[in-house]
Amino acid sequence: MESFQARRRPPALEILTLWTVAAMVFFIGTGECTRIRNHVHHHRKHGGGPEKASSYAPSSCRAHVVNLTDFGAVGDGETSNTAAFAAAVAHLAQYGMDGGGMLVVPPGRWLTGPFNLTSHFTLFLDSDAVILASQDINEWPPIAPLPSYGRGRDLPGPRYSNFIMGTNLTDVVITGNNGTINGQGKFWWDKFHKKELDYTRGYLLEVMFSDHVVISNLTFVDAPSWNIHPVYCSNVIVSGITILAPTDSPNTDGIDPDSSSDVRIEDCYIVSGDDCIAIKSGWDEHGIQFNMPSQRIVIRRLTCISPTSAVIALGSEMSGGIQDVRAEDITAINSESGVRIKTGVGRGGFVKDIFVRRMNLYTMKWVFWMTGNYGQHPDENFNPDALPDIEGINYSDVYAENVTMAARLEGIPKDPFTGICISNVTAQVVNSKKLQWNCTNIQGVSSSVTPTPCALLHDQGSYGSPCKFPEDRLDIDSVQINGCSFRRV
C-alpha cells in the first residue's frame, strides 16, 4: 500500500491547544500538505481593552495524505467500498500523534456503508466526488439511543447507525471542493411512511462528544433523516454547506446543533423537508437529567426554503436549555415560519437570550411563531410540573412580504413567555382583514412594527429603543479559516 508523507507538523498536544479550522483545502494532487496562510486575529470585547492575539496552528495541513483508491476503492457507483473506507480511516488513525491524516476522495461515485471518522483527521471530497450511502439495510446496524433522548426519535429503542459518524474526537475536518455526500434517502423515506422500519433512521453526519470540528464546502443530498448533527460537541464550524432534499421528505432537518456549545453556522443554503436549522438539547426527563445546554451559537448568511417548517427552530427538544443564540442576515423563501420556538409542558429547560436581526422573508405563513403546546413526549414518565422558561427573545430589522399572519405567539398558561422584544419589522400580510397577530400568555414590547402588534407586546412607538443585539464577539467568531494545499511527493 502506498502512503504519502510531508514535512512534520506540530505534535498533537500543540494542536489541541492551538486550533486551526480549514474550511477549504486547495487540491493540487495527493501528498504533501503545506500551509498557505495562518491568520493571527486581534479582537476587543465590548467595553474592554485589547485581548491577546489568538493564533491557531495548521492542524488541517495533515502530514499524511492518502487517496481512497490506494485501498482498492472503485468509483463506479455500484461496487461496495465499505471495506476501503474503513481501512483508509484505520490506516490514518495511527498518525494522530504524528501530524494527522487526510483521506482524499477523488472524482467518482463511491458507494459505501456507514463509516467512522478519527481524530486529527481530514476527509476531503474533490469536485465531482460523490459518496453514496448504501441501500443495504444490513450495513446499518442498530446503535444506542442518545442519552439525552432516552430512545430513538422515530421509534422507541435503539436507532440505525448514522452514515458518517465519530465519537470522542478532537480536530476533525470534513471538507472538499464542493463534493457531495448523498444519503439516497428515498429508500428510507418510503420505509418510514410504510412503517417498515424497526428503528429510528440514522443521520447523514453525526459527531458526538467531540471538540474542534469543521464541516465546510460540501453538498449534502437526500439524507435519511437529519443531515448534520453535532451532539454533545464544542467548537464547531459549519461553513459553505449546501443541503438539498425534497420539501416533502420526512424530518430532513438541515443543521441541528444539539447540546453543543460554541457553534458557528455561516454561508449555507438549505432546501429541506423540515427545519433548516434546529437547535436542540434533549427530550423531557432525559434532557433534564443529562443537563447539557446548547449555547453560544452564531448563525449568519443563511438561505432557507422549507414550506412546512421553520427557517430557525429552537426545540422542540430543549430540556437541557438553549442560551445565547445570535442569528443575522437570513433569507428565506417559501417557508412556514422565520423563527419558531417549540416547547411544551414536561419539557423543562429554558430558551433565553435569543437575538435575531436582518431577516428578509418571502412567502411565509408566520414571520414569528412561539409554541407552548408542543405535545410530543418520549414516554409517559415526563414531569407535568417541568415547565420551560422562555425569556429574552429579541427580533429586529425584519422585512417580510406575502405573509399569511405576522405572528402566532402562544405561551403556556401560568408560565408566560417573557422579555419578548420586536422592533423595526414590516410584514406585508396578504389579507389584512384577517387576524394578523395571535398572542396568548406572553409579555413584551414592540416598536416600529407593521402591522400593529397585539396588546401584549406593549407598543413603545416609533421612538422606542430597538431590540438588543450583543456588541461583543463570541470566541467562536474570532476563529479564522486557514487553507492548505497538497501535492504528491
| Residues forming the active site | 274
Q: How far apart are the C-alpha atoms of 332 and 313, rounded to whole Å? A: 13
Q: How far apart are the C-alpha atoms of 354 and 468, rounded to whole Å? A: 10
Which has the closest alpha carbon to 76: 103, 101, 106, 43? 106
| Residue whose C-alpha cell reads 427573545 in the numeric block | 393
Phi, psi dihedrals of residue 162, rounded to the nearest 5°: -75, 165
Secondary structure letter of residue 462 according to DSSP: T
Largest CA distance in the chain: 72
Q: What is the CA radius of gyration of the chain?
A: 23
CB 313 within 8 A of CB 330: no
DSSP 322-374: EEEEEEEEEEEEEEEEEEEEE--TT--SEEEEEEEEEEEEEEEEEEEEEES--
Q: How far apart are the C-alpha atoms of 52 and 41, rounded to whole Å? A: 9
Which has the closest alpha carbon to 101: 57, 63, 72? 63
Q: How far is CA 151 from CA 19, 35, 144, 282, in A?
A: 34, 44, 8, 11
CB 230 within 8 A of CB 204: no
Q: Is 478 exposed, middle or buried (0-12, 13-18, 19+ CB in 10 A)?
A: middle
